[in-house]
Amino acid sequence: MTEARTAYDEKLESILRTAAQIFAEKGYHQASIRDIARATRVSLSGLYYYFSSKEELLFLIQDHAFGTLDETLDRLLQGVEDPIRKLRLLMENHLRYFVNNMAEMKVLSHEAESLTGELRERVNARKRRLTERVMGILEELDPGNGIDLRVATFSLFGMMNWLYSWYRPDRDLPVERLAEDMSRLFLGGFLRDGSTVPAAALEAAPGEQNPSIWRSQTD
Amino acid sequence: MTEARTAYDEKLESILRTAAQIFAEKGYHQASIRDIARATRVSLSGLYYYFSSKEELLFLIQDHAFGTLDETLDRLLQGVEDPIRKLRLLMENHLRYFVNNMAEMKVLSHEAESLTGELRERVNARKRRLTERVMGILEELDPGNGIDLRVATFSLFGMMNWLYSWYRPDRDLPVERLAEDMSRLFLGGFLRDGSTVPAAALEAAPGEQNPSIWRSQTD
DNA sequence: TTGAGAAATGAACGTTCGATCGAATGACTT
DNA sequence: AAGTCATTCGATCGAACGTTCATTTCTCAA
């Protein structure tokens, strides 16, 4: 194992970390390479010694973040059998990384479509793996409540991934309580027998509304 | 009431509708005015007769979508007292607009930070109003389960707003079943007494993990 | 001390962007 | 037929963008 941690590696990581912050603040397309040069105190052209294009820079950030998230999850779930416990550990892992690396996780959530071609496909593959992992756990759990698995899976990701748009570490719950509350919200709903949900929550709304927000057109 | 629906109004709405689709596909900053000119078959300069800047175009889309969403909700909740029913109606309204106007709603969810200054503040005001409305209903409901209100509120929005990243009308549930499943997930979890949630779902994960995905640095 | 490769740079390129402006066109009134 | 106002357009602007390249500076083993 050649675990040589060179000066090159350290500087690259430092650039990735800084770039992630800038991408999180301004958005990938808004942020210019010049912004990153200014923040890292490396010259514009000097940055291209560490990556070959702006798009590859975004990929490196996303791939690194996803890879770390994934590896930690592997380690965490080793030997765990109870699916409830598995899901709880997965959620806590996910939320902990979110809160501790808000910039990177915002880039993951918000710039999912900013990559193209092969780089995009490679990140998508990591994402798919995680999605199927969650869906698999929910399938194991299956309380027979009739809730669609895809809806449940992406509702869970939605709850967690939406964090970047509202969570403020100084005014909101610490990550442990956050994970507890979200676990209770999601698992409480997913594991509950449908017949114990108040009827008013299940009744559909009356009538149809205008399907489009725009007035009807002729063309 | 001067409800004169002029040709100008119709053309503006047609431009907004087309622009929303392009913003949804390529993202606001990626999409050029020239893209919109091509799609609407109006010349580049001709567009500026209908809006004064690209940013105002984005504002018009967001404001129109939010306004419609809001007005329909007002009408829908009139006379409804039961908070469970209120929440259910709100969710169905929200999801229905999402599914029926996916382009506009993606722009709402994904381009929240693309406006600046006063235009951004005006959209934020509408958003705040809706957020407080939801939080108010949850407060009415309050089952005394100890779940943080902010966490519950934004978890609900996260579930719903994340739709744009996964929902495909041709392979996923129709909106009625979607609303039912999400209602059961959220309300089932929110209304459940904490003591009935399986213990394994509440236990914290053991140990602390590396708080940052990056290796420690010296500077 | 020197030489070679790694690391970093300033200046510039071609392209695309949002926006402007004066002129042309169309529709409708008088 | 003339006049008015709304609508549309081609041509063009300066600014900012990602990227390149010929050079220079740094580092350290020989």
Tell me the C-alpha to C-alpha distance, in Å, between residue A2 and each of A5, A6, A43, A184: 9, 11, 30, 44
Per-residue pLDDT of A20-41, as tens digits, reads 999 999 999 999 999 999 999 9
Tell me which of A181, A196, A210 to substitute to probe the interface with B (most B C-beta atoms closer than 10 Å).
A181
Q: Which pLDDT score, from 0 to 100, does residue B214 have?
A: 83
pLDDT of residue B170: 96
Tens digits of residue pLDDT in A170-197: 999 999 999 999 999 999 999 986 667 7
Of A113, A181, A211, the CB nearest to B148: A181
SS3 of B1-16: CCCCCCHHHHHHHHHH
Output the pLDDT for position A198: 73
Please check whether strand C approaches the CB of B100 to within 7 Å: no
Q: How confident is the model at residue A6 (pLDDT cuts 50, 70, 90)?
A: confident
Nearest chain A Cα distance for residue B176, angstroms: 7
pLDDT over 90 (residue A1)? no
Q: Which positions 130-189 on chain B have a beta carbon less than 7 angstroms from any atom of strand D?
A: none
For residue A53, say whether its CB is under 7 Å from any atom of strand D: yes
Compute the CA torsion angle A90, A94, A97, A103 (nearest 10 deg). Answer: 170
**pTM greater than 0.95 (yes/no):** no
Quick: pLDDT tens for B90-129: 999 999 999 999 999 999 999 999 999 999 999 999 999 9
- Counted across chains A and B, CB pairs separated by less than 8 A come out at 239
Q: Which band of pLDDT confidence, cut at 50, 70 and 90, is reported for residue A14?
A: very high
Residue–nucleotide distance: B26 CA to D17 C1' (Å): 18
Chain B contact set for A14 (CB, 8 A): 217, 219
Least Cα separation, residue A57 to chain B (angstroms) = 16
Vertex A192 angle, CA A149 and B184, to 5°: 60
B140 CA → C21 C1’, Å:
58
Q: What band does A216 get if pLDDT is binned at 50, 70 and 90?
A: low
Q: A104 pLDDT exceeds 70?
A: yes
Q: What is the pLDDT of residue B136?
A: 97
Quote the pLDDT of residue A4: 57
* Residue ranges of chain B with per-residue pLDDT less than 70: 1-5, 193-195, 199-202, 204-210, 216-219
Determine, for residues A192 and B194 on separate chains, whether the beta-carbon distance falls below 8 Å. no
Quickly state the pLDDT bin for A3 (edges 50, 70, 90): very low
pLDDT score, position A219 = 45
CA B184 to chain centre: 20
pLDDT value of position A87: 96
pLDDT attached to residue A2: 41
The pLDDT value recorded for residue B52 is 95
Distance B51 CA to C20 C1' (A): 14
Model confidence at A148: pLDDT above 50: yes
**pLDDT attached to residue B198:** 72
Closest residue to D11 by CA to C1' distance? B45
CB A188 within 8 A of CB B192: yes
Minimal C-alpha gap between A143 and chain B (Å): 12
Does A156 have pLDDT greater than 50? yes
Q: Which residue has the tokens 């990581």?
A: A13
Cβ neighbours for A27, distance < 8 A, ≥ 6 positions apart: A110, A111, B29, B113, B114
Residue in B48, B55, B47, B97 with CA at minimum distance from that of residue B72 = B97
